Structures are given as structure tokens and as C-alpha cells.
Amino acid sequence: MDNEHVRLEDAYAVVTPEDNRKLYARWAATYESEFVTDNLYVIPQRVAEIFVDVAGHLAEHATADADRLVLDVGCGTGLIGQALTRSDGQWVIDGIDISPQMLAESATKLGNDGTPIYRRLVAADLTGVVDIADGAYAGILSSGTFTHGHLGPDSLSGLIRFGRAGAHFAIGINAVHYAELGFDERLQRELVAGTICDFEPRVVEMYLPGSPHFGDTAVVAVFRRSR
Ligand SMILES: C[S@@+](CC[C@H](N)C(=O)[O-])C[C@H]1O[C@@H](n2cnc3c(N)ncnc32)[C@H](O)[C@@H]1O
């Protein structure tokens, strides 16, 4: 693997958080100009659309910033933030990611008014303990980060406490990874335990027709924190 041509297969071959740090340090500069463009990668937009569908009322009717504060998990170069900003609502968006180089790309993303799209960008490994207060967010979104060699069901369960009671989640999970690692079983367990409610898996295409990866799907796990 060289710097210029990281392939999807390289990304799927990582195993540890340290592998991820190294991969994305090399990939950050060309992630959008090569991977996203060449492969017609659209899952960030799909997750943002689904989130707006279930939680758009938050941004439209919020009277305080806390009511429209959302977290983009594994924000990478900031594509979910860009997509949310293009929707009607006024969101306040934080991002978290293991890669300082990917976060640096997110930091360059500006809204129509020329201000940064992300209010705060946090470097952290989501397989470990993360310094975010319980109940900090009204919404939590993710795309491309729950996939082979990246994050598994334990990290998904770990996200739940970041949402306040009633918080909306839209978490995109590679569909093969979803089945292989038992995400559905985990989410059913969370439902039975009463930590989440209103769970609905929505299957979406991750790439547009014409992409070499067209046909690869993600399950967007839509749910709410119940308590
Ligand atoms: C395929 S990129 C997706 C980025 C963006 N959300 C998108 O859809 O374009 C996966 C992201 O997950 C991050 N990541 C991988 N392992 C992680 C971990 N253990 N903790 C936090 N972020 C991680 C990577 O740094 C990378 O930015």
C-alpha cells in the first residue's frame, strides 16, 4: 500500500486501532479526491438523510443549542457534517475520530456562512474509554466506521450513553460486518434491557450505480436511547 492509492481492500484488512491510526494517517489527504470520488461513495449522505428524516424536528424547533447538538462518530474528513449542513436545520455538530489527520480534514470544512461546520473535534479511540459526558448529545450519527477491522458491537453499545434520554441514533454499519459480528443480536439485547427503543434497521446502498462497489449495502441502525 502506498500513500496515493489506498484501496477499500486495504481499509478492510486493518485489525487494531493502531492499524487504523496508520492507515488513515496515510489516507487522509486523498480519501475524498480518490476514494470517495472514484467509488461514488454516498453512505455519509444516506445516513444524514435518514437522521434528518427521524430527527429533523430537533433542528427546526430547538430553542437551545443542546437540543440540536449531535455527534458524528468516526467523522473522518467531515462528509456527514457537510451533508447535515446542507439540510434545512441548524445543527451543532461535534466529531470524534481516532485519526488526527482525518480530523484535520474535518476542521477545514466550512458552512455557507464561512464558519467551521464542526464545533468541536475530538481525537479518541472508540474501542476504549472515551471522555464524553453521559447524555451529552441529542443525536448520534455514523457512517463508514462500523465496518471490517474498525468498530464492532461493543463500541456501538458504548455509544448509547453519549445520547441523552430520547436521543436519536442513525448508525451506518457495513451489512456483511453487521451479520458477521452479530449487531442485530446486540441491538435486540439492548432493546430487551430497555436501554434503547424504536429500533429500525434501514438497508441502504453505500455506493451509487457505476461504482465498482455498487451493491455493497449498509444497515443503518435507527433507534433512540430510552433512559
Ligand atoms: C471509512 S472512514 C469513514 C469516515 C466518514 N465517516 C465517512 O463516511 O466518510 C472510517 C473512520 O473511522 C475512524 N476509526 C477507525 N477506527 C477507529 C477507532 N477505533 N476509534 C475512532 N475512530 C476510528 C478512522 O480514523 C476513519 O476516519
Number of domains in the chain: 1
Task: State the Cα–Cα distance between residues 225 and 150, nearest whole angstrom.
Answer: 23
In a domain, 53, yes or no: yes
Q: Whose CA is nearest to atom 25 of ligand 1?
A: 99
Give Cβ neighbours of residue 167 (< 8 Å, ≥ 6 apart).
Answer: 135, 137, 138, 139, 140, 224, 225
Question: Per-residue pLDDT averaged across 12-17, rounded?
Answer: 84
Pocket test for ligand 1, best of 12, 70, 97 (most atoms within 8 A of CB): 97
Mean pLDDT of the chain: 94
Residue from 199, 198, 208, 151 nearest 174 by CA: 151
Give tens-digit pLDDT for 38-86.
Answer: 999 999 999 999 999 999 888 878 889 899 999 999 999 999 999 999 9
Given a cut of 80, whether residue 4 has pLDDT beyond it is no
The pTM for the full model equals: 0.96
Give the residue numbers spanning the domain of 79.
39-225
Give Cβ neighbours of residue 76 (< 8 Å, ≥ 6 apart).
Answer: 24, 31, 97, 99, 102, 105, 106, 144, 145
Q: Whose CA is nearest to atom 13 of ligand 1?
A: 74
Kindly report each contact of residues 214-217 with a partner whose C-beta sits within 8 Å and lies 24 or more positions away, as own/partner: 214/40, 216/174, 216/175, 216/176, 217/175
Task: State the Cα–Cα distance between residues 114 and 56, nearest whole angstrom.
Answer: 23
In a domain, 191, yes or no: yes
Find the 172 Cα to ligand 1 centroid distance in Å. 12
Pocket test for ligand 1, best of 72, 94, 98, 156 (most atoms within 8 A of CB): 98
* Whether the Cβ atoms of residue 225 and residue 160 lie closer than 8 Å to each other: yes
Give tens-digit pLDDT for 116-140.
Answer: 999 999 999 999 999 999 999 999 9
Look at the chain and count its residues: 227
Q: Enumerate the β-bridge partners of residue 123.
A: 97
Find the 76 Cα to ligand 1 centroid distance in Å. 5
In a domain, 32, yes or no: no
Q: Which atom of ligand 1 is nearest to the CA of 72?
A: 6
What pLDDT, on a 0 to 100 scale, did the predictor assign at position 59? 81
Name the pLDDT band for 1 (thresholds 50, 70, 90): very low
Residue 216's domain is classified under what CATH number?
Answer: 3.40.50.150
Helix (H) / strand (E) element for 189: namely helix 183-193
In a domain, 89, yes or no: yes
